[in-house]
Chains A and B, each alone.
Chain A
Amino acid sequence: MAGQRLLLAIRYNDEHLHEVVDDRIWLHVCSCHENACRSGKVSEALWLSIRLAAVVSVLLLLVGAPIAYWIAFSHRRWKFLVEAVVALPIVLPPTVLGFYLLLLMGSNGPLGQLWMRWTGHPLAFTFSALVIGSVIYSLPFAVQPFASAFSAVDPALLAAAATLGASRWRRFRTITLPLSRAGVLSGFGLSFAHTLGEFGVVLMLGGNIEGATRTASIAIFDNVQALDYASANHDALVLLAISFVLLTAIYRLNRRSLHNWSLR
């Protein structure tokens, strides 16, 4: 895996990487990495992951729904272009995405500079950077279930609502959204699970700062490197359980909703 290789590179080729990347932050990453290995605080990382996943999946409801609505109902000729861009994170190696996001958010990047002006401190290697990166990384996991649920709503219902005086916003709120409940919850759950499990983007954007950017998946890797299999296993098991429960719930929900609203 690309992320693993990267971390190994940091560990064994420190000198060399400093020349290549030429960013003082990497030093910080490595020192934090060493600290983390020593303290072995696993549950804090897990808690951070859950917090990150929660913030990201809520944000994706707000960001993903309008994009999904547009994809579901627009007749623009260049719609496929937007669909492809939204789907990119599915196929892109997380390191590639993380690399470009790092350039964007770094102290010389446009977003990083904007952030500096607004808040007075750098964006890269903070929890906020992780949130922004994860929103982009998990975007297709929210948008695609949303869009397919929206477009599955019978257009006759929307037409009927319109003849009953409902504006576009009211039609969305009262017809499209409630009838897409299963799809919306799926997207929410999938983006939560996907954010919980990400590794590469988090490593690129967040480094490995305990309590700020050190997520469970990175902690697990660290623990394995330190031969602390018990701690690694603890976190890994929790992640596995959460993911399994979430996916089971999503599949169950989608199966039920098939029968739910049919008239016959």
Chain B
Amino acid sequence: MTVDARRLTACIRYPLSQFALDVKFEADPGVTVFFGTSGAGKTTALNCLAGLAKPASGEIALDGKMLFSARAATNVPVHLRNIGYLLQGLALFPHMTVSQNVAYGMADRADALQSVSEILERFRIAHLADRHPREISGGERQRVALARALVRQPRLLLLDEPMSALDLPTKQHIMDDLHEWNQGARRIPILYVTHDRAEVFSLAERVLTIERGKIVADGTPTEVLYAPRTAAMAQLAGFENIFDAQVIETRAELGTATCRINDSELKLESPLSSHSGEPIKIGIRAGDILLSKQQIEGVSARNRLRGELVVLREGAEFVEADVNCSGVTFIVHITRGAMRELALQPGQFVWLIFKTHSCLILR
């Protein structure tokens, strides 16, 4: 079997309470991230792939073998699909030791003992072999669950927000080990579900964003997260400022469009668009806005707005400032150093400066 044959093709329709999951995609070996808000249908999609849920219609094929087909009435049972699945919460067997957990899926295989000890070494959990899941840390449990799924050499690996409870360095370590495992001849498709954009950037080779049961974007992390197309995706992708707006004038000769925000007097210069007259949304990242105590002339940025500093909130990594410009509140992220140097205080008047390019027009 060639590596090319290790491809997942899926077309799934499954009715949910609010909407229907309706997705069609392929996944090649490597990490593909399913990205979307909670309740978008991501877990249901994984359940259908694993065989834990039965789609109303569609087809699922892996390695050229049909796992589910509504038309042909094919539905390979879960335990015969050989798909590794890390469920939310990991579902380690509490009454078994780490090595019993990992060996669980190897009951009928001749090379069980050797494979188990090899994978325990590879995922750095050999020293925990005789402990029970309740006696080890979250990161260690994560490794056990991965080892348990991978020791069977699955043809596809599904991960459902497996690391939401872990800190970033631990996550990164575990994912490095997973990437290292997924090399060479045994390289398989890995589908990773998350709503955390930091995970998308650190893990994904490709991102599929799911919204209300539909795939709305498909591309590299940068393509998808820096150019989100809807307000919900923008919020998820980290656009702190999202405003209702209306294009009141397009100026092709200048390469800009003027938008009115929230029916207020405030006008922004945004990139040219064909949405003239229609209600739109504009997204601006809080980190893309420059904050100045003086009015600045002679810069290229088209948007220079005066506003009152309302609140300063100190976070772990940066300071978040709320600035009120003609009744519209902007969220601005600055460093603690900048806050000290400018001696910023609530009540002061400041200038917000940002490029047209930073104003993303959303559907």
Give A residues with C-beta under 8 Å from B.
Answer: 154, 156-157, 159-167, 170, 174-175, 178-179, 261-264
Contacts and interface: CB of A to CB of B under 8 A. Distances in A.
Interface stretch (B58-66, B77-85, B237-245, B323-331): B77-85
22 contacts: A157-B94, A159-B50, A159-B91, A160-B91, A160-B92, A162-B52, A162-B77, A163-B81, A163-B84, A164-B104, A164-B148, A165-B80, A165-B82, A165-B107, A165-B108, A166-B104, A170-B107, A175-B93, A179-B94, A261-B95, A262-B94, A264-B134
Interface string B71-106: 000000111111111011101111100000000110
A163 B149 contact: yes
A162 B85 CA distance: 10
A160 B104 CA distance: 10
B202 to A, nearest CB: 25
Interface in B46-62: 50-52
B85 A163 contact: yes
A14 B363 CA distance: 94
B105 A164 contact: yes
A163 B93 contact: no
B41 interface: no
Contacts of A167: 79
Instruction: Give the contact-size bracket for chain B.
Output: 20 to 34
Nearest to B136: A263
B214 to A, nearest CB: 26
B136 to A, nearest CB: 10
Looking at B92, B95, B107, B148, the one whose CB has the most chain A CB atoms below 10 A away is B95
Contacts of B50: 159, 163
8 A-B pairs with the lowest CB-CB distances in the bound complex, closest first: A164-B105, A160-B91, A162-B78, A156-B91, A261-B94, A163-B85, A162-B79, A263-B134
Contacts of B87: 156, 159-160
A159 B133 contact: no
Looking at B83, B91, B95, the one whose CB has the most chain A CB atoms below 10 A away is B91
B152 interface: yes
A264 B134 CA distance: 7
A157 B93 contact: yes
A163 B83 CA distance: 6
B303 to A, nearest CB: 50
Contacts of B78: 159, 162-163
A162 B104 CA distance: 11
B108 A157 contact: no
